[in-house]
Structure 1
Amino acid sequence: MASVTPKIRSRKDGAAVPLDAFDKQLLNQMQGSFPIVPRPYAEVATALGVEEAVVLKRVAELVQQRIIRQVTPIFDTRAFGYESMLVAAKVDPEHPWRPAKIINAHPGVSHNYLRNHEFNMWFTVATEPDSPLGLEGTLEVLARETGAESVRQLPTLKLFKIRMDLDMAGDTAALAKSAEAVAPAETERQPYDDLDRAVVRATQGDLPIVSEPYADAAREVGISVDALVEHLNGMVERRLLRRVAAILFHRRAGFSANGMGVWRVPEERVFEAGAQMAAFRGISHCYERPTYADWPYQLFTMAHGRSKEECDAILDAVETEVGCIQQRATLYSSTEFKKVRLLYFTDDFKNWEREHAGV
């Protein structure tokens, strides 16, 4: 099979839209500190020292300008019993759009990227708790339909960090600096009931950019706004809901490059090295994953920067700080085929399995 190296997005500003100091403060607040209260925009406005109407107007404009992708609850896939994993596939490098379209059609695929490696298609896929196919069967179908030469399953063995918010104000030095990291709790399936399902269905997806964004969802569930907010906060405590936040279009927000740094370290140093890597502000995700004969890397990190050079600086700093790296590779994305939030408790999963596997 002919080898083609995809073009890496490395322009300094890319498709970035100019943002002023207030925009950067607002986006930091919306990504990391969006409160779960009846009137969250009023609290954001208070934190920024402006009126609520100013925040509502500017957030709506940032959505319209495709800088904010959506404001949405971020539920924990594993806590609801969904199986999920990262998958690396070797597909035809000359014609990647055909297999991408097939993979994207699965409702459990939330992210899919073309990357500069022999394993060139990287996607995350999830299946429902009661899926007849499960992950194994689903990947068999996808491998067959895409004609993938090889598929590598890369489930999470250890989660060190998952926190996708971009520091809009920090410079390269700040992103490449190690800080104290708090490891997230390992989440297994948690108990949930019909009310939890109803709340998820009513709130998932885009929350409206209005003073009381939970009002419509509360009416759909049949409870008051205060009761819905209380329930959402309880879901955070029960680890079903990670947070509510603004998700950005990275490149439009100025972060035109993302580099997946993969690392081979001594087996006895995996936990120590993973914790050190997770401490960097410029690292959004850090996991331990299984190795293969053709894939020796145990640790995976995602770096986001305003240029390829900034990503390299973050990963170089990680390598210097950790100090026990035996092998490193950096995979840059050249095409974003799909990036969405997973929608839970819909008929889409069952319909896909019925259509593609007759189950």
Structure 2
Amino acid sequence: MTKTAVPKVRSRKDGAAVPLDEFDKRLLNTMQGRFPIEVRPYAAVAEELGAPEDRVIARVGELVQQRIIRQVTPIFDTRAFGYASMLVAAKVDAEHPWRAAKVVNEHPGVSHNYLRNHEFNMWFTIAVEPDSKLGLEGTLDVLQRETGAESVRMLPTLKLFKIRMDLEMEAGTDALASASAEAVEPAETEPQPYDEHDKAVVRATQGDLPIEREPYARAAAELGMTQEQVVDHLRGMVDRRLLRRVAAILFHRRAGFSANGMGVWKVPEDRVLELGGKMAAFRGISHCYQRPTYADWPYQLFTMAHGRSKEECDAILDAIEQQLGCVEARATLYSSTEFKKIRLLYFTEDFKRWEREHGGV
């Protein structure tokens, strides 16, 4: 059965932070960063937290119902599967941005779409399948035409230093604004080998995992495999860089992180790799990339800072600038509206259907 990704748009009504106790914060840190790939992963989480397994499962379920946890899901690597993807900045009608957002959001490869405080006011990430007939550029031509965007800037990843969206629930601003001792090396972004069995496992496990003792039981039944075989296969996909991890994804604002600032940096060209690696080492940075520049966009490095307030994001980015120096220019773009945020679903018919309906191919 084909799963459909449903865009979850932030609502003003339920966007406020929910009070969390110390157990919740420890639980959320563990679910984001150390959720194991095991037949009974919640038992391992419970052991780490010194709590009963049933309590952990029940509380995770409540946090999903309260819209603090968005989903518990495998996080597959888009590029490793050969999907072409990039960040896109567009200038759309500032008076009616939702009109353009609705058009962009209909593409199944758009996973994130935000309104930001800049002349380029719409920022979205988009991916197309390896066998896409339109390709990325053709797809963006269609979207520019249908949205009426005045200008579109393609910002593909040239170097990937970090992509790990887990919010630090326990520590404060000082921890978020500090860096590890080691700079981060650019990550592998080339497509990796995979086969039809890998695709079947992806289809069976992607999306929301059931919040239960054995969350892979249903996928195993669908695949005609034992749970142990499914878990072993997923672990192997981690080793082959097809799967980054299995983790809880949070609703940022409900979890207390009300701000995200995209810090963009112009640095000396001969220091891009060095400084990108150092920026990625900061705890409060979830994403760090090198991207192309344009005459009206001189910034080579992109960093996403997440904080409990705009001031905390500023503190993270200020700490980077103060500790690293050599910054020729910096800008910070804050999101004011979340138009779309989902995890991509791979190997479905949705991509081809969109290309037929919008591109005539």
Shorter-chain TM-score range: over 0.9
Matches within 5 A, 1:339-358: 339-358=341-360
CA apart distance, 1:272: 1.0
Runs of 4+ in 1 over 6 A off after TM superposition: none
Amino acid at match of 2:58: K
Give 1:197's aligned residue: 199
Give 1:95's aligned residue: 96
CA apart distance, 1:183: 3.5
CA deviation profile, 1:297-342 (whole Å, cap 9, x unmatched) = 0000000000000000000001111100000000000000000000
Matches within 5 A, 1:145-294: 145-179=146-180, 180-183=182-185, 185-294=187-296
On the 8 A contact 1:157/1:289 being kept in 2, the answer is yes
CA apart distance, 1:223: 0.5
Unaligned 5+ residue runs, structure 2? Answer: 1-9
Count the aligned residue pairs: 349
Distance in 1 between the 2:321 and 2:266 partners? 11
Distance in 2 between the 1:183 and 1:100 partners? 35
Unaligned 5+ residue runs, structure 1? Answer: 1-8
Give 2:330's aligned residue: 328
Give 1:3's aligned residue: none
CA deviation profile, 1:143-181 (whole Å, cap 9, x unmatched) = 000000000000000011111100001100110011135
CA apart distance, 1:182: 4.2
Distance in 1 between the 2:80 and 2:175 partners? 33
CA deviation profile, 1:58-96 (whole Å, cap 9, x unmatched) = 000000000000000000000100000000000000000
Distance in 2 between the 1:187 and 1:282 partners? 23
Over 3 Å counting, the alpha-carbon distance change for 1:350 and 1:86 in structure 2 is: same
Tell me the TM-score normalized by structure 1: 0.96
Give 2:29's aligned residue: 28
Distance in 2 between the 1:120 and 1:92 partners? 9
Give 1:17's aligned residue: 18
Amino acid at match of 2:156: P
Matches within 5 A, 1:61-76: 61-76=62-77
Distance in 2 between the 1:292 and 1:192 partners? 36
CA apart distance, 1:276: 1.1
Amino acid at match of 1:164: M
CA deviation profile, 1:267-294 (whole Å, cap 9, x unmatched) = 0111111111111000010000000000
Distance in 2 between the 1:356 and 1:55 partners? 45
Tell me the TM-score normalized by structure 2: 0.95
On the 8 A contact 2:161/2:187 being kept in 1, the answer is no
